Chains A and B, each alone.
Chain A
Amino acid sequence: MATVAAPVQPSATLATSTLGIAKRGLLKYLRTPQLVVLGTIQGALFLLIFRYVFGGAIGAGGLDYVDFLVPGFITTGILFSGMGAAAGIAEDLQQGLVDRLRSLPIPRSAVLAGRALADTAVLVWGLLVTAAIGFAVGFRLHGSVQDALVAFGLLVVFGFAFEWLFLTLGLFAGTPQAAQGLALLVFPLTFVSSAYVPVETMPSWMQGVAEHQPITVMVDAVRVLTQGPAAEALLGHSAGFYMVRSLAWSAAILAVFVPLAVARYRRG
């Protein structure tokens, strides 16, 4: 009987399978209007509240508060979007989709890479929307457009790295609810940073954490790149200083969370 003939099925390549899985993640987002619309409205509301409610009470040195705030806001949007990513992978696990994918003859890394890619694409959309709203409420570039594009590129790299942190949380959480809960624990990072207020206004023991943690470094990189000399004077370092540090943080986050996520995924 020929039933045990050599398998005729080829295997999908890493690129094909990663792109296929990424496409599915993107379609899911684009075809769920609640996700697109609600996310955008939430972002806009918070930005307006900070800009007009708290803004008056917060001094930002040599910068207009709106110019100080919007880079912080765009950066912390990465964490908001990451919550969705954590819940998304947990949902895939719970609904058996990951089981199906793991039973297919595709490279094991494709499923996570595909998700990270799709989530990053969603994130880029979020960055663009937040930036547009920022411009609408008075944010202006005081540096070159080229620098602004560099800032954008850094944000995408940083966002991609953070997606892996959230994928890891989602994989360990197992259910979307638990994933949301775990992801919320990351939120203090956004407040204990320079995103909304200057770090110098915090108690000194907190400044130590706030000044060096990844969000602050990334926010300040965007500030210096979009606000030019005024921001450099306020923050005390050049663009290069913050760029190198934000890339280092991205690399460090990837170095820790890619292996963690992959190990968790392989274990099943």
Chain B
Amino acid sequence: MIPTIEATGLTKRFGKTVALDGLDLVAEPGQVLAVLGPNGAGKTTFVRMVATLLRPDAGELRVAGHDVRREPRAVRRVIGLAGQHAAVEPAMTGRENLELVARLYGQERRAAKANTTRALAQLGLNEAAARLVRTYSGGMRRKLDLAASLVGTPRLLLLDEPTTGLDPRSRIELWDAIAALVAAGTDVLLTTQYLDEADHLAGQIVIIDHGRAVAAGTPSELKGRAGRNVIEVHTRDKADLARVAAALAGLDHGQAQVEEATRRVSVAVEAGTDRLRDALRSLDTAGVAVEDVSLRRPTLDEVFLALTGQALTQAPDDAAGHPAA
């Protein structure tokens, strides 16, 4: 089976900056692949190469079997791109925008209209379809941008940080829309710096850092890669945080992470249930009132930290479980 995307030793330099440094990556058909990494890791450079907007300096990149350097037009026929910006025309209506893109995909007028209607419905934009895009909210523009990448019924959808800068509610709406597309059989390459986004949408995750793949696997494989469990304690009173941290510090690795805003203390442990018992005992001894105690697998955030020794930056406010590293 020909992979949807196959990158081998992909390299790109911009002056002295190395954006991609021998990236290897394979995306199989029928899956959502998330490329996860901090700002400047090379995510956007990679998507732009898959979209034939940038040429690799070295290495090979095939999209649905087509070499991006030798057969860019064949690649363009199978992809739909939704970038970091909402690349739609504010002075046109939602419907006009989509019909234009459909016509540019070479569709006849009638097919363009039909695909536009379908894409508008898929993203819940029916009511706004006749309004000028300049009256849309940021979230609606992103949705329309996503719809524009769909009117060509692409085999592979490229989403470059689709929810960056959106409010939490719009993010969740966009996630739902993407999940629905995936359920309908579109392959997706998604870049994100949000772990919960990759966790939520992707079947496969490649973590990249400094232009190189540092880990790949399913979300649960990657979480398993860190090889530990996490005990998390939610205190009732902020004042108790320090005492809880002290009580948990005696366990295994002893590095308790305190997150004041959410009144949470977490600590990584090797042997899950045994340590949970120990933890409860020491909390009891310390006599602190506890809201909730849980034993969980590490978040991707913690995995990223373990793999790269560096925390992801600029995570959204509502993202769960960011250790105060």
Residues of A participating in the B interface, judged by any CB pair closer than 8 Å: 1, 3-4, 7, 9-13, 16-17, 20-21, 23-24, 27-28, 31-32, 95-97, 99-106, 268
Contact B187 A3 (CB under 8 A): yes
Nearest to A107 among chain B residues (CB) is B73
Known contacts A4-B2, A11-B106, A105-B77; decide if A28 and B91 are in contact (CB<8 Å): yes
Distance in angstroms between the alpha carbons of A102 and B53 in the assembled complex? 7
Distance in angstroms between the alpha carbons of A101 and B152 in the assembled complex? 13
Contacts of A16 in B (CB 8 A): 103-104, 106
Interface string of B164-205 (1 = CB under 8 A from A): 000000000000000000000001000000000000000000
Contacts of B29 in A (CB 8 A): 1, 3-4
Distance in angstroms between the alpha carbons of A254 and B288 in the assembled complex? 79
Contacts of A21 in B (CB 8 A): 104
B148 interface contact, C-beta 8 A: yes
B89 interface contact, C-beta 8 A: yes
Contact B187 A105 (CB under 8 A): no
Contact B65 A103 (CB under 8 A): no
Main SS at interface, chain B? loop
Interface string of B75-119 (1 = CB under 8 A from A): 011111101111111111000100011011111000000000000
Contacts of A3 in B (CB 8 A): 1-2, 4, 29-30, 64, 155, 187
Contact B79 A103 (CB under 8 A): yes
Contacts of A4 in B (CB 8 A): 1-2, 29, 64-65
Distance in angstroms between the alpha carbons of A143 and B7 in the assembled complex? 68
Contact B73 A99 (CB under 8 A): no
Contact A27 B92 (CB under 8 A): yes
Contact A99 B53 (CB under 8 A): yes
Q: How far is the CB of B151 from chain A (nearest CB, A)?
A: 11
Contact A100 B81 (CB under 8 A): yes
Contacts of B92 in A (CB 8 A): 24, 27-28, 31
Contacts of B80 in A (CB 8 A): 103
Distance in angstroms between the alpha carbons of A97 and B90 in the assembled complex? 11
Contacts of A268 in B (CB 8 A): 48, 53-54
A99 touches which of B76, B79, B81, B187 (Cβ 8 Å)? B81
B229 interface contact, C-beta 8 A: no
Contacts of B148 in A (CB 8 A): 100
Nearest to B156 among chain A residues (CB) is A3
Q: How far is the CB of B82 from chain A (nearest CB, A)?
A: 8
Distance in angstroms between the alpha carbons of A4 and B4 in the assembled complex? 8
Contacts of A97 in B (CB 8 A): 87-89
Sampled A-B contacts (13; CB under 8 Å): A1-B29, A11-B73, A20-B104, A24-B89, A28-B92, A95-B87, A96-B84, A96-B85, A96-B86, A100-B87, A103-B53, A105-B106, A268-B54
Contact A9 B106 (CB under 8 A): yes
B89 touches which of A1, A10, A28, A102 (Cβ 8 Å)? A28
Contacts of A27 in B (CB 8 A): 89, 91-92, 96
Contacts of A23 in B (CB 8 A): 100
Nearest to A266 among chain B residues (CB) is B55
Nearest to B3 among chain A residues (CB) is A4
Contact A106 B85 (CB under 8 A): no
Contact B83 A9 (CB under 8 A): no
B51 interface contact, C-beta 8 A: yes
Contacts of A104 in B (CB 8 A): 76, 101, 104-105, 152
Contact B81 A12 (CB under 8 A): no
Distance in angstroms between the alpha carbons of A103 and B48 in the assembled complex? 9
B315 interface contact, C-beta 8 A: no
Contacts of A32 in B (CB 8 A): 91
Q: How far is the CB of A214 from chain B (nearest CB, A)?
A: 32
Distance in angstroms between the alpha carbons of A192 and B148 in the assembled complex? 47
Distance in angstroms between the alpha carbons of A21 and B107 in the assembled complex? 15
